[in-house]
Structure 1
Amino acid sequence: MRDDPHRNIDDLRLFHTAEHPCGYWPQRVARDLVLDPRDPRLAQWYPQALQWGFRRSGNIVYRPHCQGCRACVAVRIPVDRFQPDRSQRRCLRRNAHVTMRVLPAERTDEQLSLYRRYLTARHRGGGMDDHGASEFDQFLAGQWNDGRFIELREPAAHGPGRLLVVAVTDVVDTALSAVYTFFDPDEDKRGLGTLAVLKQLQWARTQGHSHLYLGYWIDGHRKMDYKRRFRPLEGFDGRSWRDLDIGDSA
């Protein structure tokens, strides 16, 4: 039986990072609150940390903690209450033939190639241009978490078919956490990012998980806008999770 991490909550150590450029607003600086990355209980703490609004990047569990800014809101989808809207149903119909496989979080050459193409097309100049195999493993797979790579593929008469999407997903006791998704940049009009979330929700439902964590949502940020289209969407206010009222998603 695993030790209950709540018994030792008083000795959980947290650190502030130094200020660094904000990844969402170029004119701002950011700081993060980080769980001690050397703590051997990180895997045990991780489910509770998600409930506290943290998320994982590589082996680091962090939460934005910026001076004078609370724009980043941790969000999650309650699986049993979610119903796809009209646009999401169209996305599912448009991609009805796509196949899904849930695999261990172990890199393949095909996944790495797609990842590099995605970064080149979508995040050129964002500091990840030179990511190779070691950076892929460090950023996405992690060392202590229970992760999966969800592959979405175009069916083929022979073989597994063309790889369209990889959704990096962490599994905890009662939830899934969407860590990172990359997809074929030449298929942008198919809504593959939305499809990945819908497939993660389907898998969560079959596994009996209560929530899918989506990381952070920022009101008014174009790259975060897709998250508000998943209803209901719960946000963490620092003390509890509440349904967000964020306008029409049609």
Structure 2
Amino acid sequence: MRHSLPVAPQFYVTAPQPCPYLEGRRERKLFTSLQGEFAQELNDSLSKQGFRRSQNVLYRPSCADCSACMSARIRVADFKPNKSQKRVTRKNAYLKRQARSPWATEEQFNLFQHYLETRHSDGGMAEMDVFEFAAMIEETPIRSRVVEYVTPEDTPDVDTGLTAVCLTDVFDDGVSMVYSFYNPDLARNSLGTHIILDHIEIAREAGLPYVYLGYWVPNSPKMGYKGRFSALEVYKNGAWVKVVDPEGFSQDDGPEFGDQLADQVAQITLPNSRNAAARHPNTE
């Protein structure tokens, strides 16, 4: 029986740079490589400790003087849609979901470009070319799916074809929405909300207890929308905490996991080794 990883992963910290969510702040990330035969185990374990995946890298915030970004997830069994979310589901009932292997297509890339040009033209992904897009979709060492939402040809008054896409990871306790995009011309349909609602159904159908949403930033115009979902919880002070009142919820200033790399890594539990912390961090 395997009890621990044969080689402990090495952790690094990025240089500070402008925060994309809160004006005037600086962000820094703790990260490690995700590769090899134990990649799925490592991803499952670290995702429960506030990490997110980007291709073959796992990362979480490591800011020196801020802890506004909190990893968020929805408890599927306790989730209850509000009236607005029920309307979103009814409005998008014509969409057909299809889950595929993580393989990029030209149709996906065209939709991705249209989405960025309309919604995030000044963002860091706006200059991505087709090869970088393919890498985002295809470079995954774990169980991943591309969930597509298609408008059937016989749907009246709506552009048919590929309408929305979500790159989704499958954990041992849930599904994780890595990145989603959709037809920005259908703003009235609230497609971003619909994708989250449908992933709650995906998790429920699979018998998985959580939907991981990425980072919630309560005071950010870009990231505050996640607080509209019930049964939300965030990773704070080394544990998952229920968010009872999203509007009144605030995160204390100051580093969440400690300022020193060694201190942060010492708090990380590796898979199949609950009593052993990650040791010997690489501080280069």
Q: Structure 1 residue 38: deviation in Å?
A: 5.9
Distance across 2 between alignment mates of 1:203 and 1:157: 25
In structure 1, the residue corresponding to 2:204 is in which secondary structure?
helix
Distance across 1 between alignment mates of 2:224 and 2:191: 15
Unaligned runs of 5+ in 1: none
Q: Is the 1:140–1:180 Cα contact (8 Å) retained in structure 2?
A: no
Q: Is the 1:59–1:138 Cα contact (8 Å) retained in structure 2?
A: no
* 1:212 matched to 2:215: no
In structure 2, the residue corresponding to 1:7 is in which secondary structure?
coil
Counterparts of 1:7-156 in structure 2, within 5 Å, are: 7-8=4-5, 11-37=8-34, 41-156=38-153
Unaligned runs of 5+ in 2: 249-284
1:207-249 deviations in Å (ceiling 9; x for gaps): 1111110010011111222211111101111311111133469
Q: Is the 1:91–1:190 Cα contact (8 Å) retained in structure 2?
A: yes
Distance across 1 between alignment mates of 2:102 and 2:34: 20
Distance across 2 between alignment mates of 1:179 and 1:37: 15
Aligned to 2:171: 172
Residue type of the alignment partner of 1:178: M
Point out the more displaced range, 221-230 or 106-115: 221-230
TM-score by length of 2: 0.80
Aligned to 2:182: 183
Q: Aligned-residue CA RMSD in angstroms?
A: 2.1
Aligned to 2:197: 198
Q: Is the 1:79–1:204 Cα contact (8 Å) retained in structure 2?
A: yes
Over 3 Å counting, the alpha-carbon distance change for 1:83 and 1:14 in structure 2 is same
Greater fraction helix: 1
TM-score by length of 1: 0.91
Distance across 1 between alignment mates of 2:239 and 2:125: 34
Bigger CA radius of gyration: 2
Percent pairwise identity: 34
